[in-house]
Structure 1
């Protein structure tokens, strides 16, 4: 490694430290690779870590055995590549923030006579677009409230119909489709609605009155829905007594590390009012690095598709790469973006407010689940498994082969993150390989979890570790399988024990062990999810086979087509020549007539 370090180029780039087993330890970026990496080390009397480094870096260097580097054109490219690699590969000594969701904005295009408010997560093309937000939560409730209180054009299709509809009859629309309201008069209503997006108290007061009227009319479900909307709108922003003399637009970021985890707060101020806020937690706080945390938070939040970015971003702590991040964001959005750490005045009070909320969130957040800590100790995991992905596949004699991934996060099922996979491999190992490979390919968009649980034995464990090693991703894996009796794995409960296969060896727990029950719960949910999807696919395939059978194509021929093309959709999309190549011209003619019919 010493020769590599001493011969590094004087160029921008990204460097990667690996241990003896080629596990990725750390990813960093440099304006000058030679200067940056040499700063980690002392070369006399022999190569050893620079004692001036942080304890976290010293621990990493003590494990480092190998160094790789990638040259890029400039420091901005190095910054972006570093962030991407950390997200994809989950290096052991880098902090990984998971809050990379895109937040919705409410927008209006006033280039048309009768504009409507809509929700978007991306930039919308238009001549006179105005954005409001972002709204991490409650954006839909706020949009619904506008259409409840103000007589706006309720649906996109309304103007196309050219005739007043039910919305006009119930006084929720002024029927611009029949020119019953002029663009000028409608514009005044739009102006009031735009004001309500920023100063929301009058809006919630009107909703409160309507909720009470609904309750008097015993329309309790509608009243409850409106109550939920009111609460969602009120929860959008953090209350503040800070007096803002100027109508400034700023985004405020504060990151604070705690004993068990850290928290990120984002506040969004528009026209001198905090219009929305959000927070998220992160783990692995023993390797916390303020510079990395702020870099990731800002680069992940302000993607190229972000509809709006403030010219000033306030941060609660100064960080080393702030200047470079500001340059990168300025380049990304083609306007000057400043990252400021205010030390006094109103802006300093805003960052102080954000930090106070960080402290309160860390104080009030529930402690780590005892069972998750026990699992980490049992399996000798690199970190506590707050987020777990569990995989299983399902088929019936090779038909309707599918896979499922379920996600456990912070003590509950994250069903929005569940994934279904249509699989093409004929053997179960191939099916698991296909499923895991596709998930690894998605790490650039959705970072790895803390733990993978696989339904299956040692073969699946070895497969997963091999795929992760090839991708240079640090991720703990275990597999759970039934003990084999008479060379057969019995699924029936009580027929055989569940065994745990880990990278450290085989673990056998007693049937009443709560740790085993927790792992079985993950496996059973993945099995349920995969089987449900299999049943849906099987019913669909049976229907398709029945239809083709009526057209004169037998089940054996259908299976032959499926084996070649993979799905019915691909069969129907295939050309005459492709069908004839797999079967014969007679079948190709039948398929062609079927598609035309």
Structure 2
């Protein structure tokens, strides 16, 4: 794409779009012209950004007053459009919250995945459902708040009989005493444990003084439960402050953010957030995006959030202030806080390793399922899949895609220009490609070969393997019914939900994509050469035509007016283009 628009040298947000108008990436900039031009003015060392730029056909922008507003607008637009290449929180819509319906006469407590503006208090989010449920059960046991439906039943439920609810439904507790318990639960979730105990002790003594012994006993039991909870919490900050600690670490094209929630100096929660990072953006960008998202989805946050030192802390703070949130971001300070940050990062590393092991386990299950489905006596760890692509017998190419342990091994991918076959003959082309692939010794370690097609493609691939005197199992996967050909008349049909079938479909579709991609690149190069024969069109203008319209067919369909809108294409050249095509 050529930057023809006059881009303003102002702060704002830019939206990179594909030919179909799909938003691919949203970014912010202090200077829009400088930032956008940086994608196109120099050779990109980041291959992922280069891939993004190759897909960009149009760029829009929104000018903002300053960089702070740009950061907020960028965050909101990413949330709205969810572009493929942007940093995204994974599964953020599904995080559970604890909800207390404080507007009710006798408030209830619930776990919910929706937070709506209904006057209730929300706490969270909690990234692990199990952790949210555990805390919820703890609150039930300690504060005995009702968890029944919004409308209270006419009789006591099981929770009352097993001492998990005060049963306001049958008047076992008055409104004031019940709401005192609710207030204590809120203070506990907010980290104001000391304040809660002081208030409850005062209220208990007051009830004793007026001989309200039953009410005093209820409050006494609540105090004991809170004290037991507090005694099990290890104080990490001697100042007993309430602070959230946040850190992020990267892993491949993802990142993992960890949060320690400290209330009254003790850790009361740990949350782990998985973040996609398709463009491998730097840590400062990741941190600012995550903090703004975290502040937006979280409730009952402390006044201070601690992170490692970052150059853009002031920008993040300005953005949070713009959102009217009374929270400040600070760098960790002192031995205690630095030790806590190290501990948090150790937890994040453990989570990354655990996720890696989980992926490996899932892959091993899939590989074993494939072994069983094909009745093999070994695990097919190295898989190679072949496909053919051509345009009515022209630009004929083949692809070889390799998976190891169920995942693409792109450094082993290969593509081939067909040499020995002319015209439309996919069957013999498969034989040539498999044969050429196996001519290289490093490729002979393949555990199983998959070809896209049916019985004839299978026989041709098997013949190529036999010719190399190898004993590699070969199967074919037919698209129409997703049948697996093992022999000429031996066919296996697997369940659509089978992990083995899904793996075969994945490698087949990847080999198809890789073959088509190579075929198109060859055609584009040849079409460019063809266009260059027209007087007045050089390499740059030929590429501009192909990039703008996508294919020779689309160039042929374009009107003279559309062609002459491109820089350097006058009416005479446009007529020559139409004449050639």
TM-score, scaled relative to structure 1: 0.47
Return the structure number with greater relative CO, CA threshold 8 A, min gap 6: 1
Q: Which has the larger Rg?
A: 2
Q: Normalising by the residue count of structure 2, what TM-score does the alignment of the two structures yield?
A: 0.48
